[in-house]
Structure 1
């Protein structure tokens, strides 16, 4: 019978001999707990640098270590920290509890959101990116099928997720949500034709009993609006023809709406069929936000939502609005606002405002930007110069050739605005139009229903609508909303939600660091994790942090990753 002990020889200066000192007794050799010894060795190895640990345990030479891969970790590290700070992982974990789904579904959805922010592509490409080109905590690998299944589940939990994100932005991040900016855009699909029409409910979702296509059956409630006008149940395809904001009326499209806070944080997104009317959009968005029992919401929208019907809808339930009014519309309000005398008051930077009294139940604020007025005048001079050069020799042309020239100019809005045709069919620069346009340089008109807010806040509030427009620009470029690599309605909706979540995290990074996401991303993606393999195992170690990376992590209050990220046994073949 043999007993095993871990001993250490200590020198005895008195006897001038070494004596063994028992550090640990393992017990009888035939009852040895080898798994416990492995755990002890692994624990002790953490006190050593990786190369020494592997060499000590295996007797291998440092040259036996192989540097097998290197992946960026900085971007996913920061996005994951913000994802958890917003409680998105907690919401998903709660909804996954008791659900017969892969417990890694939350990790897959985070990976898809991170992919949109860092290296956007199709879901098939995203799976390859996760497996080979990034490091995501808790998700060493996945498949495109897992990505599609996760997207399907995302639609089911969309209402709970949207509500949680909204209140976390309002409370945890301490962002004001009393002033919400709403705007819409469209994204087109290069397909041969629109989707087959299906009956839809008041939210623009397919009615399962009438749709006739189980594959496009009930989808998650992500706040869609009434499709095809104001009558619920009108059959219409999801990807269908409508007024395109990308000037592609020839292609099917879907309409997307977004609500954004003062700081540019997107708090909710909607997705509607491509021919949905403005009145249906604003009505559904207003109803959805009202369901969250907000005490007071001031809706800010651009000139496309200035119809009387939209304004009435926004005032329901005590709500208020700030909406732009088209000065070139020739409306009574625009004409009156421009004709009223009064001095402008300087507000901030280059912004000047003048409140004019036109109606009892609405306030009108005329805004003026001197620098913009100079740009408008310079641009008009360029346009009229090009027009004059284009029609300079047109008097010598035949009537038919002049008509052809007139037709070409009509396709150029900037030039066509200043073109006049005489009774004899000659082409001239419209000098009266040029004169009238000079009175509009640098000016825009705002409507507001709130009697308490100052004219300055009305103007500044509307100016922040640019945050929404910038959001659309970033969503279509940096996050690559388009092209959409999906044809099923529920997958398209899920794709839009993923883009919204990516934009949410990106905006939090930007507002906190004061830098653009492209700049932050480039710096973070230089932080890599390297993988080393040897006879005794595998370890992963990050590169050293740069001063810029430490500054970014400090501003975002994100802990730097451990130097040794993982230390494990050899991979089994």
Structure 2
């Protein structure tokens, strides 16, 4: 039997229940058993399903069961972006054997897991295992049972391909004459077994822990291309030579402008690394060099800034063949003056307390050595030793401010000098200043890597290769996050009109005023389309509420199917921006 719809001239089509048979001559015929035209459409659809061998499911609570429900939306978004930018194909490359495919799937899964819920490798194994799954990640990728050793083997496999993957990213995003950003950071280490872990200058303010140092190469837009791990006691400038070699030899880029901060691109590094390699640079002068430029009859005259905040000067004796762009930020000057005065007052307050202790009858703080140690601790903590004259004797302490020194320093408040080898015809003064300020995008990458988004720390691996693989994995995860942020900018607190706002500024020295669009976002917490605006982390959490349900019919236990929850308006908007269907991501 079957249901057939028959046209009925100008009337609605007839819906007939029919069966097939053969007549006496063996010819196929069909006859009508019933007219179903008056039945509701859903009843007719159910009858068709039954005739095709389906099962009728009623509306009662025992007719259909949810066998398993797993968060899926965030997995679909992250995995879909990896497929869109073909990062998985770049990782796997031409290696097609089953073992490599398994390693690639695990690496992709660890990247996605790092984006949706950063955790240890053991936590990852539990999160994707069929028995203890915390999301649909393992099911979508078909990982099955995952053993802990497989995760570490996948890390080793990934590290062996780091050079090729970074070269592939460079081919995609870099070209001759490009401007690149470079900076370093550090992360503390749990344990003392790794040879990379050493005590050094901790940017995490965890001097009680050994650490590792890693340098990140990014495009001007902040998209990470390569990362390298160094010993925890490595000084920032000494990491630069490895990057120059990487860019010249591995990436094959002949012309490049490297942007680094004043502690990175030093005179020694320019002399020994950048100039021999034929690379240009943009950096900033340290305070002593600025003071030398501003000395009596020097090229830096404060009268240059009576009516402007940017001026280009030259100092061929000190910086031959280079351009110097002097900037004065009045807001920064006011802030530095405030901080200095606060520190001076705080230092005097602490010194007064020490003096009171010295004068107290029966005090143990009497000798000049003991008083000197107490005073030194205060001056070191406040970094104010250069601004005070202190006289110490047995049972005596006096101090006074160095007014001349303070006034001399205050003259240069808010002034910074950009140093570059790029000719003016290639990059004018305003563009050079903006290029240096773009280093903030590397700092934003470090914030995402180290805090709420990816949580690269604490690092618990014991061997140097595993630490390097862990850092590289986190960099790849941020590479995906960067693309997600770009696509989701209308739904995040990002300024989608930042380029326009920068172009409308009177000077690159001034802070960029937020555009009307982002002001409206922050005021109403809504996008231009009326969707609720949130942070990247919150949007990932919200997408996770779109779940993947494995459904079961108790009457036919072998019959199972997948049913996705209905996306919210915000989830629909997020996937529309990604041009993805969450139910089709594999």
Q: TM-score range by the shorter chain?
A: 0.7 to 0.9
More displaced 10-residue stretch of structure 1: 417-426 or 439-448: 417-426
More displaced 10-residue stretch of structure 1: 374-383 or 408-417: 408-417
The aligned counterpart of 2:441 is: 467
Q: TM-score, normalised by structure 2?
A: 0.73
Query: In 1, distance between residues paired with 2:188 and 2:406?
Result: 36
Which blocks of at least 5 consecutive residues in structure 1 are unaligned? 1-5, 25-46, 196-236, 347-351, 567-573
Is 1:143 aligned to 2:169, yes or no?
Answer: no
Q: Is the 8 A contact 2:2 2:51 kept in 1?
A: no
- The CA deviation string for residues 417-451 of structure 1, in whole angstroms up to 9 with x for no partner, is 64441376423344334323322322222210112
Query: In 1, distance between residues paired with 2:114 and 2:468?
Result: 15
The aligned counterpart of 1:517 is: 536
Corresponding residue SS for 2:161: helix
Q: Equivalent residues in 2 for 1:318-467 (5 A)?
A: 318-328=278-288, 332-333=292-293, 335=295, 336=298, 338-339=300-301, 341-343=303-305, 352-359=309-316, 360-398=320-358, 399-400=366-367, 402-414=371-383, 418-422=387-391, 425-452=397-424, 453-467=427-441
Query: In 2, distance between residues paired with 1:158 and 1:434?
Result: 51
Match of 2:462 among 473, 476, 487: 487
The aligned counterpart of 2:71 is: 72
Q: 1:67/1:20 Cα in 2 relative to 1: closer, same or farther (>3 Å)?
A: closer
Corresponding residue SS for 1:562: helix
Corresponding residue SS for 1:530: strand
The aligned counterpart of 1:42 is: none
More displaced 10-residue stretch of structure 1: 157-166 or 532-541: 532-541
Query: In 2, distance between residues paired with 1:118 and 1:411?
Result: 43
Query: In 1, distance between residues paired with 2:436 and 2:143?
Result: 45
Q: 1:338/1:146 Cα in 2 relative to 1: closer, same or farther (>3 Å)?
A: same
Deviation, structure 1 residue 160: 1.4
Is 1:154 aligned to 2:196, yes or no?
Answer: no
Q: 1:467/1:275 Cα in 2 relative to 1: closer, same or farther (>3 Å)?
A: same
Count of residues paired in the alignment: 478
- The CA deviation string for residues 161-183 of structure 1, in whole angstroms up to 9 with x for no partner, is 11222333359xxxx98111101
Match of 1:530 among 549, 555, 561: 549
Q: 1:55/1:455 Cα in 2 relative to 1: closer, same or farther (>3 Å)?
A: same
Q: 1:534/1:243 Cα in 2 relative to 1: closer, same or farther (>3 Å)?
A: same
Q: Equivalent residues in 2 for 1:223-372 (5 A)?
A: 237-248=195-206, 251-291=209-249, 292-312=251-271, 313-328=273-288, 332-333=292-293, 335=295, 336=298, 338-339=300-301, 341-343=303-305, 352-359=309-316, 360-372=320-332
The aligned counterpart of 2:135 is: 134
Q: 1:326/1:82 Cα in 2 relative to 1: closer, same or farther (>3 Å)?
A: same
More displaced 10-residue stretch of structure 1: 132-141 or 301-310: 132-141
Q: Is the 8 A contact 1:54 1:60 kept in 2?
A: no
Corresponding residue SS for 1:75: helix
Q: Is the 8 A contact 2:193 2:462 kept in 1?
A: no
The aligned counterpart of 2:509 is: none
More displaced 10-residue stretch of structure 1: 476-485 or 459-468: 476-485
The aligned counterpart of 2:167 is: 163
Q: Is the 8 A contact 1:357 1:364 kept in 2?
A: yes
Q: RMSD of aligned C-alpha atoms?
A: 3.4
Deviation, structure 1 residue 113: 0.8
Larger relative contact order, structure 1 or 2 (CA cutoff 8 Å, min sep 6): 2
Q: Is the 8 A contact 1:486 1:492 kept in 2?
A: yes
Q: TM-score, normalised by structure 1?
A: 0.75
The structure whose Rg is larger is 2
Query: In 2, distance between residues paired with 1:55 and 1:129?
Result: 39
Deviation, structure 1 residue 501: 0.7
Query: In 1, distance between residues paired with 2:20 and 2:214?
Result: 72
